[in-house]
Structure 1
């Protein structure tokens, strides 16, 4: 019956190599102990012969035996020293293999998180698409429902872009972890799709004074007695100060007959003294003129 051997991991290979070196060192140390003991016996015997006045032949043979044992002990000491160096190298290799194994495990866990995110993204897309379809399926397309569907689609695109970025960052972290946190050449991060700026929620109103306001870096101006789309955030203050009114207001109907309903007047100049800054209406220290439409 044929048995298939499992392939050993680097840690197991270095562990076996270290154990073999340690066993070899133990055997050499035992042989060295025996050789040194034999050398001591030969030395004592040669010394005894010399003190007893033995012949030159006996002394030569005793010295020859002592030198042979001494050379053997010297060779064994060199072998033990070399084995000690090999054991040190094997211990270092084993420590590095263990550290690499731990780094690989950590990197695999990081890559597993990235893979799980990538597997979850299609399910998220399906769910978001189903939600948008549920909102827009009906024949009566309400403004709120359409706006909600647009928000869901924006969130969907933002989540997909963020998922792509985080997966790249996780895989880059896994690469650095696997390499031992050394500087490695990484691919540039994926280009994140920039989402369009959300549209400002507006309300069509009729101006009673020339107005100005800011939308980001852009300055907007509207002439008096014209219809304009005013940001809803500015509408409450503009109404409270009677600088605008709703299109269905009675006085607006009269003013439309007098001045017209379209943007017939040119945009007011920035230095027009009658220009009302809607952004400054909320400041308590500033007094804004009230509309005179009597």
Structure 2
């Protein structure tokens, strides 16, 4: 004896309702076939009596029987039509329930990723802190080790800020997915461009304008609203002219909520009139100390 009944999911409820409607439709159809056959027989009988010159009483009885059978057939036809409408509604409800189940499943997976990141962040922070401590706790510390410790601590802060931001984006995406308002990028994620590894002479920043610069003989370009590892020699001029900002800046977090982290941004063309030449800005800043003061 079952003391506890398993609670049915919305999909199972609508599937059961649809099956019940379809079974009712089959039974009504069988009864309608019988009624139509009986109506044909009554019509043939009335016709035969009329042709044979039957009495008025016999014809009255035959017509009365025919009307009874005809009314029954008409009632069954109306019931079949109503049942067909109910089946259409049940199929639509089942389709919506299946779609919602799939959206909930996708949203749960997205939230699981966010939870996994949040669980991994403390371990990363502890490991980064231990690495910095291992480098700097001894008295005879070389300048290279000091720079390395500073770089690790800087990367730690950036990773923590980005982890908080990406968890917010993931949970927002899960809410949109559950509500059926997710953008196409969630349904078919593109290949993510790998960010360059952090280097001691670079700083990860967020662009506010489309930028271009050169590294050796190779021209580099970055679209607006994109995370990029910018050479530190170009950083002061880019910050001064409001073309970039740090990842943990409040306005950058807002812009990331609006535009994302730049993974879907298309690299601007070399002839884009909006491109800002960071090499030219850095040269102007070095040539005019007053510009640095300003």
Relative to structure 1, is the Cα distance of residues 54 and 130 closer, same or farther in structure 2, using a 3 angstrom cutoff? same
Matching residue of 1:103: 103
Greater C-alpha radius of gyration: 1
Matching residue of 1:114: 114
Matching residue of 1:22: 22
Deviation at 1:279, TM superposition (A): 5.6
Deviation at 1:148, TM superposition (A): 1.8
Please show how residues 1-294 of structure 1 align to structure 2 within 5 Å. 1-181=1-181, 216-217=236-237
Distance 1:27 1:35 in 2: 12
Relative to structure 1, is the Cα distance of residues 141 and 182 closer, same or farther in structure 2, using a 3 angstrom cutoff? closer
- The superposition leaves residues 108-167 of structure 1 with CA deviations (integer Å, 9 ceiling, x where unpaired) of 111111111010000000101111111122122333222222211111000000001111
Distance 1:61 1:158 in 2: 95
TM-score (norm 1): 0.62
Relative to structure 1, is the Cα distance of residues 68 and 100 closer, same or farther in structure 2, using a 3 angstrom cutoff? same
TM-score (norm 2): 0.62
Tell me, yes or no, if the aligned pair for 2:237 and 2:285 is still in contact at 8 Å.
no
Higher helix share: 2
Superposition misfits of 4+ residues, deviation over 6 angstroms: none
Relative to structure 1, is the Cα distance of residues 144 and 8 closer, same or farther in structure 2, using a 3 angstrom cutoff? same
Structure 1 segments unaligned to the other structure (5+ residues): 184-196, 199-213, 219-276, 281-294
Secondary structure of the corresponding residue to residue 5 of structure 1 = coil
Structure 2 segments unaligned to the other structure (5+ residues): 184-201, 204-233, 239-283, 288-294
Tell me, yes or no, if the aligned pair for 2:173 and 2:182 is still in contact at 8 Å.
no
Secondary structure of the corresponding residue to residue 39 of structure 2 = helix
Tell me, yes or no, if the aligned pair for 2:11 and 2:98 is still in contact at 8 Å.
yes
Distance 2:285 2:130 in 1: 41
Distance 1:143 1:182 in 2: 50
Tell me, yes or no, if the aligned pair for 2:118 and 2:163 is still in contact at 8 Å.
yes
Deviation at 1:182, TM superposition (A): 6.2
